[in-house]
Amino acid sequence: MRGLVFLLITGLMLGLGCAGAPGGPRFEPLIEPGPADTLVYVWRHDSLRGVERVDLRLDDEKLGRVKNGEFLAFLLDPGHHELRVRLRWLDLIPRSWNGLSFEAKPGQTLFLRIWAQYQETPHLSDPGSAPGRPESEAKVVIFVAPWPAEDAMAELQRTRRAPRR
């Protein structure tokens, strides 16, 4: 019986793409945005194992999914936006979610970091961007927060572009 359960779980993980590291092109900074656009980098950097991909939505539109060590870069119109992130266990079962409202300014470059961790609340300048679910309901929590440019560029150097999904 244990062997059957092991084979089932292994098959599920392989079939869902839970094995493997990011494989897209390495990070290359983009040119600065024009005066009418905002450049946004979103990346995931954490050391938590077993948390495969995170779903991203921007203003109710699907952006895609990112694994640990992957990034997305895109241009936005200036104005108010909301980035929503959702974590799913085994890539199937919703586990944790969170969101970040932000103001995009013309000519600005924004760095938004995503990370998963156990129930500890990290030191954030904005405590409102802490867990999306009460601690009693989630053992793993997803976070999203603006990140200082210098720190972000250092982390982004170790990432790869997330494939279009």
- Contact at 8 Å (CB) between 117 and 46? yes
Domain 27-161 has CATH 1.10.3470: no
- Categorize the per-residue pLDDT at 133 as very low, low, confident or very high, splitting at 50, 70 and 90: very low
State the Cα–Cα distance between residues 55 and 65, nearest whole angstrom.
Answer: 4
Question: Residue 95 has what pLDDT?
Answer: 78
Average pLDDT for 61-82: 95
In the chain, what are the domain boundaries? 27-161
Quickly list DSSP for the chain: -HHHHHHHHHHHHHHTT-S----SPBP-PPPPP-TT-EEEEEEE----TT--EEEEEETTEEEEEEETTEEEEEEE-SEEEEEEEEEEETTTEEEEEEEEEEEE-TT-EEEEEEEEEESPPP--S-GGGS-SS-GGG-SEEEEEEE--HHHHHHHHTT-EEPPP-
- Categorize the per-residue pLDDT at 6 as very low, low, confident or very high, splitting at 50, 70 and 90: very low
Range name among 51-65, 73-87, 149-163 with the lowest pLDDT average? 51-65
Per-residue tokens: 6: 């092991």
Q: How many CB atoms lie within 10 A of CB 67?
A: 21
Question: Residue 148 has what pLDDT?
Answer: 97
Average pLDDT for 54-82: 95
Question: Residue 156 has what pLDDT?
Answer: 97
Cα 94 → chain centroid: 15
Reply yes or no on whether the pLDDT at 135 is more than 60.
no
Per-residue tokens: 72: 């997305």
- Categorize the per-residue pLDDT at 29 as very low, low, confident or very high, splitting at 50, 70 and 90: very high
State the Cα–Cα distance between residues 53 and 90, nearest whole angstrom.
Answer: 9
What average pLDDT does the chain have?
80
User: What is the percent of the chain where pLDDT is above 90?
Assistant: 55
State the Cα–Cα distance between residues 28 and 165, nearest whole angstrom.
Answer: 20
**Prediction pTM value:** 0.75
Reply yes or no on whether the pLDDT at 63 is more than 70.
yes
Question: Residue 8 has what pLDDT?
Answer: 40
Question: Residue 84 has what pLDDT?
Answer: 96
Q: How many CB atoms lie within 10 A of CB 56?
A: 22
Average pLDDT for 19-23: 60
Average pLDDT for 99-120: 92
Reply yes or no on whether the pLDDT at 111 is more than 80.
yes
